[in-house]
């Protein structure tokens, strides 16, 4: 997922090798992570694909099945991994993840503490953000979740950037060995206020904390706990609106008006068909690119509370 040598970055130049993890992309909501193994096949409604036909192809390739159907073979980035990982818990999604990484000021070389690890969705992006010289120490009190997350980081080639440990962070706090050394701390815990005194000890002067909570009552208690030694306390809710984009043929009455979701705002484009090339005796149809807010847009996920350790 994240080769350390920048010249080997996943890109259209990099070729798929045996044992590589590949994201098989049918469409934005139908993807699967597959490990390449000679002799194995991938099967979907478009037919059968042999892994051996995929090995050696560049990431980004469009490949055909025995029936002429196709899929794309994409490099496993943290963004795609978040969409295909196995959900062992609620996870953070990209709108929250990208905001967290920016607002926590995470850059290569940072030391980041996280709890709980959960399904490792956020951890995967944290790892890429701190690479190649930083490190993420992530803690979960659930032993099996910690083990499965560790296995995923090995599969994704991130194990040199992430250490997963089993620990009750609300009860015990972060290990004292990290005292004063964390650039940032992220909490996704049911009672984050219990961990906040420990977070205050772990952060470097000027370091930043983020706590994710689904309920506003949790935010209120957290902000109360942050009053004593944090400053610049701010809470955000990140809402994303996605759009559907479709190209449709229009009839003379301006098609699309009868859609149950109403007409699309649109830009028209003239398409000419028939004989001749000078516009005479040509049948005209109109194609329109239709764009409208998606009815599947994700709503509330949670609140992100950020605070900076007060300088003494």
Ligand X SMILES: C[S@@+](CC[C@H](N)C(=O)[O-])C[C@H]1O[C@@H](n2cnc3c(N)ncnc32)[C@H](O)[C@@H]1O
Residue 105 sits in the site that holds ligand X (CB under 6 A) = no
Nearest C-alpha neighbor of 298 from the set 97, 93, 12, 119:
93
User: Does residue number 305 form part of the binding site for ligand X (CB under 6 A)?
Assistant: no
Among 65, 156, 170, 305, binds ligand X (CB under 6 A): 170
Beta strands in the chain (DSSP E): 21-27, 30-35, 41-44, 47-50, 62-64, 70-74, 111-115, 135-140, 162-166, 182-187, 203-213, 230-236, 243-250, 266-273, 283-293, 303-309
Interface size with ligand X, residues (CB under 6 A)? 22
Based on CB atoms, which residue is closest to ligand X, 65 or 198? 198
Angle at 137 between CA 206 and CA 180, to 5 degrees: 30
Q: Are 113 and 137 in contact (CB under 8 A)?
A: yes
Position among 10, 90, 98, 165 found at the interface with ligand X (CB under 6 A): 90
| Residue 126 contacts ligand X per CB under 6 A | no
Is 160 known to sit in a ligand binding site? no
Note the helical H segments in the chain.
Answer: 51-54, 78-84, 94-103, 121-130, 143-155, 169-172, 196-202, 216-226
Can residue 98 be called a binding residue for ligand X (CB under 6 A)?
Answer: no
CB of residue 88 vs ligand X: minimum separation in angstroms? Answer: 7
165 binds ligand X, rule: CB under 6 A:
no
Asked whether position 101 contacts ligand X by CB under 6 A, the answer is no
| Gap between the Cα atoms of 306 and 214, Å rounded | 14
User: According to the binding rule CB under 6 A, does residue 91 interact with ligand X?
Assistant: yes
121 scored as a contact of ligand X (CB under 6 A): yes
Q: Which SS3 state, helix, strand or coil, does residue 264 take?
A: coil
Among 116, 134, 200, 302, binds ligand X (CB under 6 A): 116
Residue 20 labeled ligand binder: no
Q: Applying CB under 6 A, which of residues 59, 139, 264, 303 lies at the interface with ligand X? A: 139
CB-nearer residue toward ligand X: 26 or 237? 237
> Can you tell me the distance from the alpha carbon of 210 to that of 254, in angstroms, rounded to the nearest whole number?
50
The annotation status of 98 as a binding-site residue, yes or no, is: no
User: Shortest distance, CB of residue 82 to ligand X, whole angstroms?
Assistant: 8
Candidates 56, 58, 180, 190; binder of ligand X (CB under 6 A) is 190
Ligand-binding site membership of 140 (annotated): yes
Q: Which helix (H) or strand (E) holds 37?
A: none
20 lies in the binding site for ligand X (CB under 6 A): no
Q: Does 287 bind ligand X (CB under 6 A)?
A: no
CA atoms of 153 and 125, how far apart (whole Å):
11
Cβ distance 205 to 297 under 8 Å?
no
Which segments are annotated as binding site? Answer: 119-122, 140, 168, 188
Interface ranges with ligand X (CB under 6 A): 89-92, 115-116, 118-122, 139-142, 145, 168-170, 188-190
């Amino acid at each position: 997922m994240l080769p350390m040598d920048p010249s080997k970055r996943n890109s259209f130049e990099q070729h798929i090798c045996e044992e590589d993890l590949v994201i098989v992309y049918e469409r934005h909501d139908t993807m699967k992570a597959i490990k390449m193994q000679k002799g194995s096949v991938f099967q979907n409604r478009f037919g059968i694909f042999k892994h051996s036909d995929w090995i050696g192809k560049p990431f980004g390739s469009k490949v055909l099945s025995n029936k002429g159907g196709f899929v794309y073979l994409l490099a496993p980035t943290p963004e795609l991994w978040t969409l295909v990982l196995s959900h062992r818990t609620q996870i953070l999604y990209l709108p929250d993840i990208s905001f967290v990484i920016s607002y926590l000021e995470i850059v290569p070389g940072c030391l980041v503490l996280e709890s709980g690890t959960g399904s490792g969705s956020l951890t995967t992006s944290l790892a890429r953000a701190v690479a190649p010289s930083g490190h993420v120490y992530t803690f979960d009190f659930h032993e099996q979740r910690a083990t499965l997350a560790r296995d995923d980081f090995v599969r994704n080639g991130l194990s040199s950037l992430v250490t997963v440990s089993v620990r009750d962070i609300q009860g015990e706090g972060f290990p004292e060995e990290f005292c004063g050394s964390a650039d940032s701390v992220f909490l996704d815990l049911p009672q984050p206020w219990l961990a906040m005194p420990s977070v205050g000890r772990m952060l470097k002067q000027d370091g930043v904390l983020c706590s994710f909570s689904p309920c506003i009552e949790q935010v209120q208690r957290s902000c109360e706990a942050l009053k004593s030694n944090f400053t610049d306390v701010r809470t955000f809710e990140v809402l994303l609106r996605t759009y559907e984009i479709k190209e449709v043929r229009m009839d003379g009455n301006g098609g699309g008006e009868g859609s149950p979701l109403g007409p699309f705002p649109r830009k028209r484009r003239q398409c000419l068909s028939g004989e001749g090339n000078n516009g005479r005796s040509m049948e005209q149809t109109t194609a329109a690119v239709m764009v409208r807010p998606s009815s599947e847009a994700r709503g509330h996920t949670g609140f992100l509370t950020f605070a900076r350790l007060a300088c003494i």
